[in-house]
Chains A and B, each alone.
Chain A
């Protein structure tokens, strides 16, 4: 018994657009999201307490999206965390009122992306936060990451976060970008297609120049220092392959660091359901293999948005619509030649609009040499307290895949499930062995997809009603 024709996982720009499109084609749609409202990370709804910040464009877009989704007739299950799935599909979630299981023959996963991290010594200190986390603090909560902040890593979030800090009255000690300036220029061709977005970026840059924020390209953090939290940051040059070079280090006083190296597609759900994946560095890393309608190798399982390859918020809605059209076609609904034509047009538009985001994603992508940024004593797996030296020792002893590394060191076995350290661990294996990333593999996806309180799974129950099978043979 299906609850809906289609279930959407994620109510960001891709998921919401897919839901609205599917509803317009007459499908019944349920949408599940972890957050308290639709919008995803980019159009995250501000805290209800936040009434006095200056209006911004993202907020207006988010409000419009929420209104359209609400009017579409799709049923939104906000504040629900999906922790497991079954083929065919059952989606098992935990919400404010307890467990929820929904069933549908089609699933579109629009789970977005998580941040890619390259560990540096001292990055476990309080006050070091992700760049994506910094955007949440700034946009959703109106909280500054610190009084004097180093913004470091790679990709477009550097300028976004630094300019938001400046606009909010904070000080940015430096923007530290591992990519050489030439990398930005090399991507200019793809960016010219979107003058509006270039203007946005130029405005961020202008704001930073006006605030006299030093911007260091081809530079990376060597170490973060402090006792109870961030006190200072040492930076130094890296070469074109992001290997630290020379001793031209300098140490900046700072009370916070925002750190990140682009986005990684979230593939937990498609991996859990056994879809095939490919390693595509130009789209952020591992992504599900899909056909033209964004259907994976598992029939009925579709993907949309950054989870299908990082292309950014502007391309996301088109991918959602494309997947929704695929679902309708699979159900024999909203059919006819017109829909095939619409799908082809949507696909073309999606490819076009995704070029800018993909170029940005590629800009953030660390080259293989970036593994050299990780010092032997830097903690790589934060959950289990494993340093690079410990992982290197296991690799020297024969670990060749993330699964090997997990078995011998527990790397990725903690509560984050390898979502923070998996990428760095794979970089270390690749650096030491020359193995390609497809062979090194992904962290395995197992339920629960996020840590779940046992009590939330088990709920209230009667012991005598447990379905105890016959005991094992004596």
Chain B
């Protein structure tokens, strides 16, 4: 007879781990089940950018809270608050920048517009072809590859059981509990949280949900270590570039350019056809990159639903089951919205509203 948990979380990324920690701190006997290792998915392979300038307006309050949590985690996650600059290189981009940053500022992000001359002062190695720019002192980055190690410490401290390299192959609702089939034997729990990122769709199908979850395949590149070139997080008005130099001298280049592959295939790959414009945009923004070599480009899945807002709340039509994922800017927002989810599962009122997955429910469960 296996033990009965109060909560089983499928997915050991930032979202699932943060929710599990909160639930355990609230007294629930909790287990995290992860198909690979903690933080090995999007939580670990994203570019680690913490920028309010690229967050969606409606998610800004969550992102601001997320920044606070990462800052608190500090050195353990390689946190650096450097400030960030977003660049526009033509009038169309400048218009986009002005319009978007004004709305983000209204939503609470301390973003200000700065002149090209100010950009040159702050970052002398950026392109001189800047026509408009914005600045946010709160921006910075952390080291995403430390996500797993960081949450392992937190989960262990909170007394959460961790089962890694354990894919869940079926979920059965037996009486009042969920029974999760795994190669290492069944896991039973009265509550279930699906927080498995790009695999939310297939996990949802195990409990009879047809979730409209798709996966984007984001590309990130890194150069070898080199001399100091930029000190802040550099972005582009379209959001298609993130660039920062780590303390060790390597430069990370992201921006959400799409690779190939899907969660069902189990792998994704860099597409040289999109890597090229990604690197060209980086080179245009920071001409000094011509002295650097790229050592590695990789991809990670970013899950989303059609409205690009999170799935965060009760699973439609299924008592005691919850969904958490598809958070745009999930690295930044994850620690906070994960904790909110833990509160919801504990039966507490979350500090900020969550995002009811019921908005995508069809048929009978739509009324739930």
Contact = CB atoms under 8 A, between A and B. Distances in A.
Determine direct contact between A and B, CB below 8 Å. Answer: yes
Where chain B touches its partner, the secondary structure class is mixed
A410 B292 CA distance: 19
Contacts of B273: 86
A352 to B, nearest CB: 37
Contacts of B105: none
Contacts of A84: 270, 272, 275
Contacts of B129: 463
Interface in B7-53: 37, 39-40, 44
Interface in A447-474: 447-448, 451-455, 457-458, 461, 463-464, 466-469, 471-474
A415 B289 CA distance: 16
B43 to A, nearest CB: 10
B256 to A, nearest CB: 7
Contact of B277 (A90, A415, A454, A467): A467
B238 interface: yes
B57 A474 contact: yes
B238 to A, nearest CB: 4
Contacts of B271: 86
Interface stretch (A250-258, A371-379, A400-408): A400-408
Interface string B269-302: 1111101110111111000011011111110000
Nearest to B237: A471
A463 B308 contact: no
A442 to B, nearest CB: 14
A447 B272 contact: yes
Contacts, number: 121
Contact of A471 (B96, B103, B152): B96
B40 A407 contact: yes
What band does the interface of chain B fall in when counting residues whose beta carbon is under 8 Å from A? 35 or more
Contact of A451 (B40, B224, B298): B224
A458 B279 contact: yes
Interface residues of A, number: 42
A448 B56 CA distance: 32
Nearest to A439: B165
A102 interface: no
A413 interface: yes
B37 A404 contact: yes
A454 B279 contact: yes
Dominant SS among interface residues on chain A: loop
Given A84-B270, A86-B272, A454 B294 contact: yes
Contact of B296 (A86, A448, A469): A448
A448 B308 contact: no
B89 interface: yes
Question: Of A406, A410, A451, which is in contact with the most chain B CB atoms at under 10 Å from its CB?
Answer: A451
A467 B292 CA distance: 23
Interface of A: 84, 86, 90, 92, 272, 274, 397-398, 400-401, 403-404, 406-408, 410, 413-415, 417, 444, 446-448, 451-455, 457-458, 461, 463-464, 466-469, 471-474
24 contacts: A84-B270, A398-B152, A403-B40, A404-B37, A408-B148, A408-B149, A410-B145, A415-B293, A447-B296, A448-B294, A448-B297, A451-B295, A452-B294, A453-B290, A463-B284, A464-B90, A466-B277, A466-B284, A468-B277, A472-B238, A472-B239, A472-B256, A472-B308, A473-B328
Q: Which 7 A-B pairs have the closest CB atoms?
A: A451-B293, A455-B290, A471-B238, A407-B145, A415-B224, A472-B239, A84-B272
Given A458-B279, A468-B277, A472-B239, 10 more contacts: A92-B272, A274-B269, A407-B44, A407-B149, A444-B298, A446-B297, A452-B294, A454-B292, A469-B238, A474-B57
